[in-house]
């Protein structure tokens, strides 16, 4: 609900603070006093585009601020949470719009003091308040909303909506795949020969069975073994060649042994060193002979791998693809060629699958159509039952359900267009209600629709602008009764010239204007019980209040209270 509305420097309003209560608030006053200005201000706070022309003469900016306290389940809370505009546990929030003249700066749109775009406020406003009247834009009269309203009012199994959506997704998936297959074929069909040649080169290099890393690792292994084998051969040669270490050490030992003139004690260390050196050299030769067979390899594979590595590098340079990616590239080429060759057959398969999916969607969407037709008949009957008391005695309302044959217009919710149509007199053709009814008739027709639909589409605040135009007496009383019924569960504000409607308010606001010959200002007051009786009396008899009109006003107000008590009692019994 709207808890508070503050308007400053807007049209002829200087500063106005309005504390709104739950239930029914009636707004009365003379024509031109500013009632419609309040609606304009509310429209702006709900996302309408502001105009600098609305700034009061002499002011640089107009400010409109509203505090909302919607129910916890209202979808607006999720919107605000996702944008980080509210704190945890918060139960109300404030929307503030500042309108400036172009020379004085940019307009501002704030929620809880944080800047947002006005489009966001407009979307949030759809969950908060609806304004209904002769000239207001009715969200429930928007054809795009009427499908949702019908579905919410009908007892249509939720699983049927899922079945329809799934059927459409399947149809769209096959359509997309066929489109992609056709585009793929067109793009690649003339490249098949070149792709096959390139794939053959990559295959010849052995990259289709082994990736480059495996080939490179095997080449490095063979190269390492070959280099190690050559090293062992060199060691062996240094040890056993004619001038190798073993023969040289053996000769040195023999030469030392032949020297008889040397003191044996003095050469004992030298003799030990030469003997150990010879022994170690012979041991090294034996160890080399033991190890070297492990590294003796056939050099042919090494040559083959070297040639393969050179060919791979050449391909990499030619294809301008890193060597590490050639194997994957080759496999991709083979897969692409296979897919191209299979495209025609797959497209034919998809033709059959698309037709099957289309038939399936049509079948389930048509079932949904039948459910909607039945729901529309029930909704129409409920609304038609309310029309006679609203002085629409010969009017008839109907929910028109049509199927759209154009596939591009199919949706997850079926292929229906829903139109709320009406005729004001028997024999006349039905047409959309915005084209059928005059201003006053349309307002009452919308009221009838809203009385029924508010039970399933609970907007926290409803505002009706002169819904009682052109009627009086019992018809006006019936309008007041329907509005009062809505106000039992919804905050309702009604701008009215009807005493029968005004008498039913829980809160009565009066708008007037005053002038000092320089400026005109709109003034709003909350009426006391006595002031309320006088205002209803004025509405009954004109400017001159009489004892008779006051008595009649008291009677209307008392009848309204009695009616409210009766509704409360009925609800308790129910």
Does the pLDDT at position 134 exceed 80?
Answer: no
- The pLDDT value recorded for residue 309 is 78
Poorest-confidence range of 124-133, 214-223, 237-246? 214-223
pLDDT digits (tens, 9 = 90+) for 459-470: 899 988 877 777
DSSP assignment letter at 137:
P
Does the pLDDT at position 136 exceed 60?
Answer: no
Contact between 107 and 99 (Cβ < 8 Å): yes
- The pLDDT value recorded for residue 139 is 66
Predicted structure pTM score: 0.69
pLDDT digits (tens, 9 = 90+) for 503-536: 999 999 998 888 777 777 888 889 999 999 999 9
User: Dihedrals φ, ψ of 400, to 5°?
Assistant: -100, 125
Token reading at 368:
């949904």
pLDDT digits (tens, 9 = 90+) for 269-314: 888 888 898 899 888 888 888 887 777 767 677 777 777 777 778 8
- The pLDDT value recorded for residue 545 is 84
Burial of 506 (0-12, 13-18, 19+ CB in 10 A): middle
Does the pLDDT at position 185 exceed 90?
Answer: yes
Averaged pLDDT for residues 318-337 = 88
Quickly list DSSP for 336-348: HHHHHHHHHHHHH
Say which residue the tokens 């003034």 belong to: 523
User: Long-range contacts for 480-484 (Cβ within 8 Å, ≥24 apart)?
Assistant: 480/504, 480/560, 481/389, 481/563, 482/386, 482/389, 482/390, 482/447, 482/448, 482/451, 483/24, 483/447, 484/24, 484/560, 484/563, 484/564, 484/567
Does the pLDDT at position 380 exceed 60?
Answer: yes
- The pLDDT value recorded for residue 323 is 82
Domains of the chain, residue spans: 193-338
Question: How far does Cα 123 stand from its chain's mean position?
Answer: 13
Token reading at 520:
């005109």
Q: Which of 21, 73, 175, 70 is nearest to 505 (CA)?
A: 21
Does the pLDDT at position 174 exceed 50?
Answer: yes
Half-sphere exposure (CA, 13 Å, Cβ side) for 75? Answer: 10
SS3 call for 109? strand
CB neighbours of residue 515 within 10 Å: 9
Looking at the DSSP assignment, which residues form a beta bridge with residue 491?
461
Residue 292 or residue 492, greater confidence: 492
Does the pLDDT at position 20 exceed 50?
Answer: yes
Full 3-state SS string of 547-571: HHHHHHHHHHHHHHHHHHHHHHHHH
Contact between 364 and 160 (Cβ < 8 Å): yes
- Biggest CA pair distance of the chain: 166
Looking at the DSSP assignment, which residues form a beta bridge with residue 550?
none
Half-sphere exposure (CA, 13 Å, Cβ side) for 86? Answer: 18
Residue 468 or residue 409, greater confidence: 409
- The pLDDT value recorded for residue 208 is 66
Token reading at 200:
């053959």
- The pLDDT value recorded for residue 58 is 85
| Percent of the chain clearing pLDDT 90 (strictly above) | 41
d(CA 459, CA 93): 17
Half-sphere exposure (CA, 13 Å, Cβ side) for 369? Answer: 18
Q: Where are any strands of DSSP class E within 54-116?
A: 61-68, 93-100, 108-111, 114-115
Contact between 422 and 448 (Cβ < 8 Å): no
Banded model confidence at residue 210, pLDDT cuts 50, 70, 90: low
């Amino acid at each position: 609900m709207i808890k508070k509305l503050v308007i400053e420097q807007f049209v002829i309003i200087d500063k106005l603070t309005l504390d709104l209560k739950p239930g029914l608030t009636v707004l009365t006053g003379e024509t031109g006093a500013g009632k419609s200005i309040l609606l304009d201000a509310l429209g702006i706070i709900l996302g309408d585009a502001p105009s600098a022309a609305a700034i009061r003469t002499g002011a640089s900016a107009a400010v409109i601020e509203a505090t909302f306290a919607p129910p916890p389940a209202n979808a607006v809370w999720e919107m605000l949470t996702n944008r980080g505009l509210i704190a945890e546990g918060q139960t109300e929030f404030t929307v503030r719009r500042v309108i400036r003249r172009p020379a004085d700066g940019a307009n501002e749109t704030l929620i809880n003091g944080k800047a947002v775009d006005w489009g966001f406020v407009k979307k949030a406003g759809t969950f908060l308040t609806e304004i209904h009247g002769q000239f207001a834009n009715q969200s429930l009269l928007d054809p795009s909303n009427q499908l949702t309203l019908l579905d919410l009012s009908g007892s249509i199994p939720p699983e049927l909506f899922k079945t329809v959506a799934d059927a459409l997704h399947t149809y769209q998936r096959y359509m997309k795949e066929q489109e992609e297959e056709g585009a793929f074929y067109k793009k690649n069909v003339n490249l098949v020969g070149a792709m096959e040649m390139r794939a053959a080169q990559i295959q010849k290099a052995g990259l289709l069975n082994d990736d480059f890393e495996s080939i490179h690792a095997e080449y490095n292994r063979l190269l390492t073994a070959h280099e190690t084998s050559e090293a062992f051969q060199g060691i062996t040669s240094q040890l056993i060649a004619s001038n190798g270490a073993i023969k040289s050490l053996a000769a040195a030992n023999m030469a030392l042994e032949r020297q008889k003139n040397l003191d044996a004690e003095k050469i004992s260390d030298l003799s030990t060193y030469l003997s150990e050196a010879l022994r170690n050299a012979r041991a090294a030769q034996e160890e080399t002979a033991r190890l070297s067979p492990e590294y003796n390899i056939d050099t042919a594979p090494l040559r083959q791998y070297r040639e393969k590595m050179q060919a791979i590098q050449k391909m990499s340079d030619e294809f301008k693809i890193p060597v590490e990616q050639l194997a994957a590239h080759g496999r991709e080429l083979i897969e692409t060629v296979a897919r191209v060759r299979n495209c025609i057959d797959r497209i034919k398969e998809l033709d059959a699958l698309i037709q099957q999916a289309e038939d399936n969607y049509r079948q389930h969407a048509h079932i949904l159509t039948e459910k909607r037709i039945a729901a529309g008949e029930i909704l129409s009957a409920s609304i038609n039952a309310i029309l006679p008391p609203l002085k629409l005695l010969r009017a008839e309302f109907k929910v028109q359900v049509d199927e759209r044959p154009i596939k591009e217009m199919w949706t997850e919710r079926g292929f229906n267009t829903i139109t709320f149509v009406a005729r004001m007199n028997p024999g006349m053709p039905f047409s959309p209600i915005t084209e059928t009814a005059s201003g006053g008739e349309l307002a009452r027709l919308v009221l009838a629709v809203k009385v029924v639909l508010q039970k399933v589409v609970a907007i926290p605040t409803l505002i009706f602008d002169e819904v009682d135009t052109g009627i009086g007496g019992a018809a006006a009383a019936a309008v007041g009764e329907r509005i009062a019924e809505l106000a039992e569960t919804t905050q309702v504000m009604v701008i009215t010239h009807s005493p029968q409607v005004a008498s039913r308010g829980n809160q009565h606001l009066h708008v007037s204007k005053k002038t000092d010959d320089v400026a005109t200002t709109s003034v709003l007051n909350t009426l006391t019980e006595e002031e309320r009786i006088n205002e209803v009396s004025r509405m009954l008899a004109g400017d001159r209040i009489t004892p008779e009109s006051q008595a009649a006003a008291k009677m209307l107000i008392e009848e309204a209270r009695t009616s409210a008590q009766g509704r409360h009692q009925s609800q308790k019994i129910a």
